[in-house]
A and B are shown apart, each in its own frame.
Chain A
Amino acid sequence: YLYNNRYAGDQVFRIHPNTEEEVGRVKSILGHIKVDLWQPNSLSMITHNATVDVHVKHNDVLRLHTCLKQDHISYEVFITNLQKEIEKQTGYRSSRRRR
């Protein structure tokens, strides 16, 4: 595996905070989980009506689902297995090369 399979089961969430209150909730939730923000680049830049793309480690995926559902915050998962996407992006070529 690429990167020693370290991204197996990781997911990328796309979160849609629609109100200032939801922005506050999203900042608080993401502030308590170790996440990798893809867009925007820091919690302070999260605003309503702008999406938040966040990479979450596999062992925090369930927790984030639970928190967002509890607060009725709109979201979807746009990458369900990050390792697979990484393998697809370059893995295919390196396996070709291996062949």
Chain B
Amino acid sequence: SASQYDYEVYHSLEEIQSWMFEMNRTNPDLVDMFSVGKSYEGRPLYVLQLGKRSRPQKKAVWIDCGVHAREWIGPAFCQWFVKEALSSYKHDSVMRRLLNQLNFYIMPVFNVDGYHFSWTTDRFWRKTRSKNRKFHCRGVDANRNWKVKWCEEGASSHPCDDTYCGPYPESEPEVKAVAKFLRKHKKRVKAYISIHAYAQMLLYPYSYKYATIPNFNCVESAAQTAVSALYSAYGVKYRYGPASTTLYVTSGSSIDWAYRNGIPYTFAFELRDTGYFGFLLPESLINPTCTETMRAVKTIATGLLKKC
């Protein structure tokens, strides 16, 4: 049941999905659950909507986790966020204000097929599980498949590469479903956050070019405030900045697409660590990693309620 669910261990896709149903069942006034579509292998793409049902046109924040299957700390954070938001609504005035004034769309596992495969077959699988007509290799990098500068620098057109951009933009049903949802709700969604690992960075557009976004000052300030909040938990340092210069140039990424789609604040978190455990971050570090990231995400969301 919800109260016995262990948020400090990694969970399989089945466990996460039944947890989502339980969150939906036990929190009727703050949670809604829906599917934005089906994955390549036909699994539902579930999303939890968190927020007080006060008025229809509330601003919204989208958070997706598990775009890359092997980055297990991502889904762990999305579950942690839901747990924290619901459990602190009554006693934390900041969280209460956020849930009253914003809706949060939480997608704990974006790449459901890949995540399932990383639990059952290949622990270090990254891509989706779509088949390719000409090659035996499977999968597309779901963070190179968005319709923004698609398949240019920093993506590969070879189906066997880990950064394969796909046969065409939004070829992956998972990408197409989320893009469709965000296009439909673009007037209300004011922040897009995608959770990845590992590198300890907070990245914002552009990924595909060395240029400054028009609202740079507001986004830069939000990122700086977020990494300071993160640091305040356990003194862990995150670098922050435009993805192209802070990490490397990549095309077809979700944060660039969301930004170009009109969402003014789009971020990619690269959670712990910087390469001691890599993708194998132990379960003992789920708590501190999620606690510090929670502080960062709360400051980003709080910033949306102010004018910049």
Contact = CB atoms under 8 A, between A and B. Distances in A.
Interface of A: 2-3, 7, 12, 14, 36-42, 44-45, 47, 51, 53, 55, 78-79, 82, 85-86, 88-90, 93
- Most chain A beta-carbon neighbours within 10 Å: one of B123, B161, B198: B123
Contacts of A2: 123
Contacts of B121: 3
B283 A42 contact: no
B288 interface: no
Contacts of A47: 248
Contacts, number: 60
A78 B274 CA distance: 12
A53 B197 CA distance: 13
B279 interface: yes
Given A42-B161, A42-B163, A78-B275, A55 B124 contact: yes
27 contacts: A2-B123, A3-B121, A3-B122, A14-B275, A36-B162, A38-B124, A38-B275, A38-B278, A38-B279, A39-B275, A40-B247, A41-B126, A41-B141, A41-B162, A42-B161, A45-B248, A47-B248, A51-B275, A53-B275, A55-B124, A79-B278, A88-B280, A89-B281, A89-B282, A89-B283, A90-B9, A93-B9
Contacts of A55: 124
B123 A40 contact: no
Contacts of A93: 9, 283
B124 A89 contact: no
Given A53-B278, A86-B280, A45 B162 contact: no
Contacts of A44: 154, 156
B276 interface: yes
- Most chain B beta-carbon neighbours within 10 Å: one of A40, A47, A90: A90
B10 interface: yes
The 10 closest A-B pairs by CB, nearest first: A45-B248, A85-B280, A42-B163, A89-B280, A41-B163, A41-B162, A38-B278, A53-B275, A36-B124, A93-B9
Contact of A89 (B10, B122, B276): B10
B123 A86 contact: yes
A72 B305 CA distance: 54
Interface string B4-24: 000001100000000000000
A12 B124 CA distance: 12
Nearest to B158: A42
Contacts of A42: 154, 156, 161-163
A85 B124 contact: no
Interface string B117-160: 00001111010000000000000010000000000001010000
Nearest to B141: A41
Nearest to B121: A3
Nearest to A46: B248
Interface in B6-54: 9-10
Contacts of A37: 162
Given A38-B279, A41-B163, A90-B10, 17 more contacts: A12-B278, A14-B275, A38-B124, A38-B275, A40-B248, A41-B126, A42-B154, A42-B161, A42-B162, A42-B163, A44-B154, A47-B248, A53-B275, A78-B275, A78-B276, A85-B280, A89-B283
B199 interface: yes
B29 to A, nearest CB: 33
A3 B283 contact: no
A59 to B, nearest CB: 17
Nearest to B70: A38
Nearest to B278: A38
Nearest to B247: A40
Contacts of A45: 154, 248
